[in-house]
Each structure stands twice: as structure tokens, then as C-alpha cells.
Amino acid sequence: MKGLKPSLLALCVAGMPAAALAEIQPLDEASMGNITGQSGVTIELEAKINIDKFIYTDDGSLEINDIFIGGGNRTDYFPELGFNLTGNGIGPTDRIDNVRINIDIASDGDAIINILPIVFGAVDFTVTTGAWNLVDTGGTPGTTLIDNFRMDALIGSGTIRIDTATDKMNIKTDFAIDDMDFDVPFLGIGIRDFQLTGPDYDLQAPQPLRLFANVDMDIYQGPNQAGVDSLAVDLNNFEADIRIGGVLIGGTSIGSVAIDNLAITDTKLRIYGH
């Protein structure tokens, strides 16, 4: 039922005592303008996700097996700092937790979503997968692109803003990867102990406020070079240090890699079908 019919509403009003009716005063426009809702919605989140198989199909398919997204169940992220970065009083779990999501609509109509820890400490998350297989139209697995993927990472905070003036979604977040390992079987390559931090993070004199790499990006609908509407992704700014503890070729380490002060700016992607 969408609402009270006029006749029913009139009957209800008519049945009210005169004394009660006397207390009802109409609101003028100024008074109505001062009536506002509460300041946004807050969501506290705990989550653990398991997916047996994700399949993207064109003619053939790409299958990603045994996907897990949850907590790292660890307290030893970036041990050189000497304390538990996820010390939130909850303790290590295999769930993404200690997450508070604040949702607000600004006076100009913009939607603002802030992602923060509930209590002081970074939010830890882990992603693992099995084999990433290319599959032919008959369903037979072929080349394995990636296998044995695991990433343990931390998020400090994040903000998503949908701007009504530009129809763009802006994403700002700060994160750090403590450890990422994976194999690329068809090339015989393995990556071990991949770590990503902020560009000013010093392993010899570590500072927690410099741990996180910052990302600023816009996502919206925009034209490609041919003028066709596409999914547009503008990476406005990304700065980080990267360290890889071991690069394996044929199962044997050929050494480590470090990239200092990586900066990616003014980078634009246009994604569309063909």
C-alpha cells in the first residue's frame, strides 16, 4: 500500500478529539527547512568469503579457482616496527574485521563513504587463490597463468566519493602489502616475499605513519580514442616502494629486486569491448 487514501485520512482526523486537534499547528516553509535526518549511516563489518570458482567467458574462458578473502590470522605484520599493527583488542582471526563504514550524503548531493577501523589499528586482509586457468570452448583446462597466489595486506583508511557535478567516483586509500607470493607456471617464474610500502618507509628506521602507499583514482564513463563510451579509470597518483625477496626461475632463486620511489601519475585507462 503506497499510502492512506484521502477518505481514510479524513476519517482518522475527524475521529481525533478537539483538544488534540487544537495542538496541531501547520509548519511554514522555514520550519520545514530546519527538519533534517540524522547524519548518515554507519556499518560495522566482519566478513569471510570463499568462492570455489570464478569464470569469465568470451569464446573460451578464464577460471580462477579456490578464492578466499578474509583476515590474515596474524599479529606479525611488518615486524621491524616492533608492535602489532592490528592491535584492535579483537585478536587475530581469519575474518576481515575492525571495519567501520560511514555513509553520508553531502549538501550538494555527493555520496561520501569513509572506511575506517573501529578501534585504533590497521585493518588486515588476506587473499588467496588456486590456479588461474585458460579453458577452451569444450571446457578443457589449458595454460595455467598463475597459481599458489597469497597476499597479506593492511588498509589504513579509504574514502569513496561520488561527485554529482562530474559523475565521477573518486577513490582515495592507503594500503601496504606485507607479503605476496605467487607462481607463473607457463613462464617458470615464481615471486616470493613481495612487499609494498609508502615511498618514504625506511626499513632501518621504520615509522608507522610512513608505512602506507597512497592511491588517488577516478572511475567514470568516458570516451575512448574513437569517441565510444568506455569505463574510464584515471590513476591520479600512486607512490610506493617495492621489494621482492626472491625471484625464482625454474624453481631456483636468481636474487632479489627493489624499486625505490615508484611514482605513477596522470595515467588513464579506457576499458571497452571489441
Its sign, for the CA torsion 72, 76, 79, 82, is positive
Using a cut of 0.85, tell me whether the model's pTM lies above it: no
CA dihedral 82, 180, 169, 114 (to 10 degrees): -30
The DSSP symbol for 81 reads G
Give CA 185 to chain center in angstroms.
28
Q: What is the pLDDT along the chain (274 residues), one digit of tens a residue?
A: 444 444 434 334 444 444 443 444 554 544 444 444 457 899 999 999 999 999 999 999 999 999 999 999 999 999 999 988 886 566 788 999 989 999 999 999 999 999 998 888 899 999 999 999 999 998 888 999 999 999 999 999 999 999 999 999 999 999 999 999 999 999 999 999 999 999 999 999 999 889 999 999 999 999 999 999 999 999 999 999 999 999 999 999 999 999 999 999 999 999 999 8
Report how far residue 47's alpha carbon sits from residue 67's, in angstroms, rounded to the nearest whole number. 14
